[in-house]
Amino acid sequence: MKLLAVHPSGLMYTKVFLRLEPLGLEIVAGAARAAGHDVRLIDLQVEDHAAFHDLVRRWRPDAIAFSCNYLANVPEVVDLARSTKELLPGCFVFVGGHSASFTAPDILEHGEGAIDCVLKGEGEAVVADLLDAIEHDRGAISTVPGAVTADGEGPPPRFVEKLDDARPARDLLRHRKKYFIGVLDPCASIEFARGCPWDCTFCSAWTFYGRSYRTATPERVVEELAHIAEPGIFIVDDVAFVKAEHGFEIGEGLARRGIRKEYYLETRGDVLLRNKEVFKFWATLGLKYMFIGLEAIDEEGLKRYRKRVSLDRNFEALEYARSLGIVVAINLIADPSWDRERFEVIRNWCMEVPEIVNISVNAPYHGTETWHTEGRKIHNRDYRLFDIQHAVLPTKLPLPEFYAELVKTQQVLNRKHLGFRALYGVAGISTRLLLRGQTNFLRMLWKFNSVFNPALQMADHARPVRYEMALPPPVEGKADPKKLYIHGPQGRKGRAVLDDASERFVDETRMGASLS
C-alpha cells in the first residue's frame, strides 16, 4: 500500500541553532518499505503545509504516518490529520513517536475521528504489522502491540529485536542539504545506542525506553557511517559513550576504514570523566562539539532534578573537555522560581566560563516524574508552549519580567559567542560553507533577536487554544513509577550498564540514591 510518512514543523530552536534530519521517522519508513510498501516522506521542518496537502492530493496515499516526538507539535499534527481526512476520507491516519506515545488517548480525542490510531513505542518494531492489519483485516489492528484506537488499547508496545535492524530510509528525504547544527552544515544524524539508564525527574527519555540502554553493533554503525555523504554527524544518543568498549570499537572501525567526519554528541559529565580515553580517542577522529546537560550550578538543583552527579564532577568534566579542544555547550534549567538576583548570578557565572551556555525553562512534560508532581500547576494548557522556551508553571516574577530576564540572559550569552572575535573566526567557516553552497549556518547567525524576544513569547501565551492539554490526576504520595513507562522496565538486567557503572556512580556522588 502507499504510505506517506510526515514529520511536523520545527520548534523555536530549529529557527536558529539547528535543524536535524527526522531519523526516527526515516527508520519507521525504512521498516514499512522493507515490508513491501510504497513509501514517501515529507519533512515539514523544510517544506510547508501547502506542499503536504499538494502531495496528499496528487499521490493519494492509503495511509499517513505522522511523527510526533514533541508535545509542542500535537496541535499541528491534529490539524493536519483533520485536513487529510477532508481531502481523503478513506485514508488511514496514524500517529507515533515520543510525545504521541505518552498522550495517546488525548490525541485521539482531539482528532474527533480524524486520527484512526496512535502507535506507541518503537515504530519500526510493529509498523509492518499495523499496515498489514489496515490492508487485510482492520479488526486485527487492536492486536498490534502499542496500538491505541477509539476502541481501546492493544498489547503493550514491543521493542525492535536488535538495534541493527533499524534501517533509516535516508534516501526518502528530499532536501538533505537543509539539515545542520551550528557549523556542521550539512549534517546527518545517526544512532549508536538507544535509551538511558539514569532517571532525571524532568526527562522522559528513560520512561519511554523502560530505563534500558541498548547498543547497535560497532560493525553496523561503521557500515552506516561509511554510506553517509554528509561531512557533519549528529550522534542522537541520549548519553553518548556510556560503554567505553563500544565507543572504542566504533572508533577503531572508523580509523581502520579511514572514515573522517566532524561529530557532535550529547553526554553526561560523569560519563565523560569515567570514559576519558574514549572521548580523547574520538577527539582525534573528529569529535568537535559536545553538549553536556549540567542543568544546575548548585548541589540543591542537581538533587532536585535527580541528576545523580555532583557539582565538582561536572566542573571537572568541563575542564577535561576543554583540555581535549572540544567545543562544549552546556544546558542550564531556568526554574520558574528564579527572581532577578538569580538570573544575575547565572549571567555572571555564564560569562566566567568559556563554554556555550544554553538556558531552557523547567516544564513538566508528559512521561516525566515532574508531570505527576507539578503538572497540576500548569497555568496555560496550550501544547505549543511546551518547547522549553516558555514558562508553563507559575513564575515568581510577573511573566513579562521573567521573559525579559530570560531573554536578557540568552542575549548576553549570544553576544558572548558571536562577539567580534568570534565573528572573525566565523568568517572563515562561513566562506568555506558558502563555497560548498551551504547557507544554513550563515542565516542562523542573524536570526537570534528576531526569534528570542520577550514580546513574542508573551504573545504566544495569548493565542487562542483549540486543543487543551488535559492535566494529570492528583497523586497520593509518590507517583507509581510503573505507570510512567511506555516500554516496560526490563529490570536491572535490562539496564545493562548499571550493574557496573551506576553502582560506582552512586558511590561517587555520595547522594545515597538507590537505582533500584
Q: Which residue from 30, 75, 96, 269 is in contact with ligand B12, where contact means CB under 6 A?
A: 96
Assess 119 for contact with ligand B12 (CB under 6 A): yes
Buried b (16+ CB within 10 A) or exposed e, 396-418: ebebeebbbbbbebbebbbebbe
Query: What is the β-pairing status of strands 152-153 and 262-267?
Result: unpaired
User: Which residues 6+ apart lie within 8 Å of 135 measured at CB?
Assistant: 1, 62
Q: Which of residues 347-386 bind ligand B12 (CB under 6 A)?
A: 365, 386
In the stretch 230-269, what mask flags binding to ligand SF4 with x, by CB under 6 A?
Answer: --------xx----------------------------x-
Residue 148 CA to residue 115 CA, distance in Å, equals 10
3 state SS for 429-467: HHHHHHHCCCCHHHHHHCCHHHHCCHHHHHHHHCCCCCC
Minimum CB distance to ligand SF4, residue 296 (Å): 12
Tell me the per-residue interface mask from 204 to 223 with ligand SF4, x by CB under 6 A, - otherwise: -xx-----------------
The pattern of x and - marking residues 160 through 189 that bind ligand B12 according to CB under 6 A reads -----------------------------x
353: left (phi over 0), alpha (psi -120 to 50) or beta: beta
Give yes or no for residue 470 binding ligand B12 (CB under 6 A): no
193 binds ligand SF4, rule: CB under 6 A: no
Q: Which does 198 bind (CB under 5 to 8 A by kind): ligand SF4, ligand B12, none?
A: ligand SF4
Task: List the one residue from 76, 116, 124, 185 that touches ligand B12 (CB under 6 A).
Answer: 124
3-state SS assignment for residue 349: helix
Judged by beta carbon, residue 191 or residue 224, the one nearer ligand B12 is: 191
Q: Copy the grid coordinates of residue 202.
A: 524532568
Output phi, psi for 357, to 5 deg: -115, 130
Q: x/- contact string, 307-346, with ligand SF4 (CB under 6 A)? A: ----------------------------------------
Which of 131, 196, 393, 484 binds ligand SF4 (CB under 6 A)? It is: 196
67 contact, one of ligand SF4, ligand B12, none, CB 5-8 Å limit per kind: ligand B12
- Interaction between residue 182 and ligand SF4 (CB under 6 A): no
Amino acid at site 155: P
Full 3-state SS string of 49-103:
HHHHHHHHHHHCCCEEEEECCCHHHHHHHHHHHHHHHHHCCCCEEEEECHHHHHC
Helices (H), 144-217: 205-208
Q: Interacting stretch for ligand B12, rule CB under 6 A, among 69-77, 410-418, 427-435, 502-510?
A: 69-77
The reply to whether 97 sits near ligand B12 by the rule CB under 6 A is yes
SS3 of 110, please? helix
Of the candidates 186, 193, 191, the one whose C-alpha atom is nearest the C-alpha of residue 213 is 193
Per CB under 6 A, the list member of 3, 4, 16, 28 interacting with ligand B12 is 28
DSSP state for residue 140 in the 8-state scheme: G
Q: How far is the CB of 293 from ligand SF4 (least distance, A)?
A: 5
Strands 2-7 and 38-43: parallel
Q: Is 99 in the site for ligand B12 (CB under 6 A)?
A: yes
Q: Report which residue type is found at 69.
A: N
Helix axes 244-257, 218-226, angle to 10 degrees: 40
Q: Nearest approach, Cβ of 505 to ligand SF4 (angstroms)?
A: 11
Binding flag, residue 18, ligand B12 (CB under 6 A):
yes
Residue 104 or 200 with smaller CB distance to ligand SF4: 200
Q: In the complex, which residues of this chain contact ligand B12 (CB under 6 A)?
A: 10-11, 13-14, 18, 20, 22-25, 27-28, 65, 67, 69-71, 94, 96-99, 119, 122-124, 127, 189, 191, 203-205, 208, 236, 238, 365, 386-388
Q: In the complex, which residues of this chain contact ligand SF4 (CB under 6 A)?
A: 196, 198-200, 203, 205-206, 238-239, 268, 293
